[in-house]
Amino acid sequence: MPLVTPTEVYKQAMAQRFAIGAFNVNNMEAVQAIVEAAQEERAPVFIQVSQGAIRYAGLAYAAGLVKIAASLVDVPVILHLDHGTDFEQNVMCLRAGFTSLMYDGSKKPFEENVAITKRVVEIAHIVGIPVEAELGQVLQSTDGVSEEQVRAAMTDPDQAKLFIELTGADSLAVAIGSVHAMRSAEAELDIDRLRAIRAKVNVPLVLHGSSGVKEDSIREAIEHGICKINVATYLNQAFVQGLRETIEKMPYEPDYRKHLQVAREYVKERVREKIRLFGSNGRIDSTGGFVSPRTVHRAVDLGALE
């Protein structure tokens, strides 16, 4: 089916208390892995293109791969700009056919973040494309951040309310204890802070840096308003692991497709794992629409989604 915007997907996620997996891609194999897992699990997905992916593959290639993959399945696929750096880049992605944008002004002063986010929202809304924004900072593990620094960078609930009122952003990435690029799941989220933000803000909330968060904490966050969860490092680790294992087994094999096929399967299984953790599996019926909550619960009770 053609690419979709996240508007209806978010509506269902908020009503039914599940989260949509938002998976970062850098090459064709990753795109294939995500879309195949989503199709088999009957789940909606975000496929995210970051700054690094744009530099590596080029904007046209990255967007083109996702469009082709989406056309081959009958589950909702959203093409999303991850951590857009400025207004101009958002316009370029809008022109390239992205169905969800993001401006990340979290490192800028509040007033500047508001001003640029509002500008991106205004132009995107002209053509019906939603915009994700970020307030507070999800820091980088590679910077050697301390627990105190992570806490100091968390999103302020009152400021989040004002930010949404001033910008009109459609979803908000919040800092509640996760850290980008963590290689093991050790972090626990500040659920009390999340509750406070949810009480002030009615838009869908987004969790970045989920690869380093404990599964129980993720489940609890979904119960309290997290509707989209970004996954990157966890997939990258799987891809590299698959390559490493096949190269060790076949060090002189010149057909690199054999190595890439294994890497793709490793990523696919991790996407499947996250889709089930987020509760988005079994949400899409055979026509590409959302099943009723009662039908989803019945399927789970019968073990049909195992």
Q: Is the pTM of this model over 0.85?
A: yes
Give residue 136's pLDDT.
86
Confidence at residue 305, expressed as pLDDT on a 0 to 100 scale: 45
pLDDT band per the 50, 70, 90 thresholds, residue 170:
very high
Judged against a pLDDT cut of 60, whether residue 299 lies above it is answered with no
Per the domain annotation, does 201 fall within a domain? Answer: yes
Residue 71 lies in a domain: yes
Q: Is 190 annotated in the active site? A: no
Domain CATH number, residue 30: 3.20.20.70
Strands 101-103, 131-135: pairing is: parallel
Q: How confident is the model at residue 292 (pLDDT cuts 50, 70, 90)?
A: confident
Q: What is the 3-state secondary structure (H, E, C) of the chain?
A: CCCCCCHHHHHHHHHHCCCEEEEECCCHHHHHHHHHHHHHHCCCEEEEECHHHHHHHCHHHHHHHHHHHHHCCCCCEEEEECCECCHHHHHHHHHCCCCEEEECCCCCCHHHHHHHHHHHHHHHHHCCCCEEEEECCCCEHHHCCCHHHHHHCCCCHHHHHHHHHHHCCCEEEECCCCCECCCCCCECCCHHHHHHHHHHCCCCEEECCHHHECHHHHHHHHHCCEEEEEECHHHHHHHHHHHHHHHHHCCCCCCHHHHHHHHHHHHHHHHHHHHHHHCCCCCECCCCCECCHHHHHHHHHCCCCC
Q: What is the mean pLDDT of residues 70-91?
A: 97
In a domain, 2, yes or no: no
* Residue with the larger pLDDT of the pair 107 and 209: 107
When divided into structural domains, the chain yields a total of 1
Within-domain flag for 25: yes
Q: What is the pLDDT of residues 108-150, one digit of tens each?
A: 999 999 999 999 999 999 999 999 999 987 766 555 566 777 7
Residue 208's domain comprises 7-301
Q: What is the pLDDT of residues 195-224, one digit of tens each?
A: 999 999 999 999 998 887 899 999 999 999
Query: Residue 306: inside a domain, yes or no?
Result: no
In a domain, 1, yes or no: no
Catalytic-labelled residue, pool 82, 104, 156, 190: 82
In a domain, 248, yes or no: yes
Q: Is residue 55 part of a domain?
A: yes
The whole-number pLDDT of residue 141 equals 58
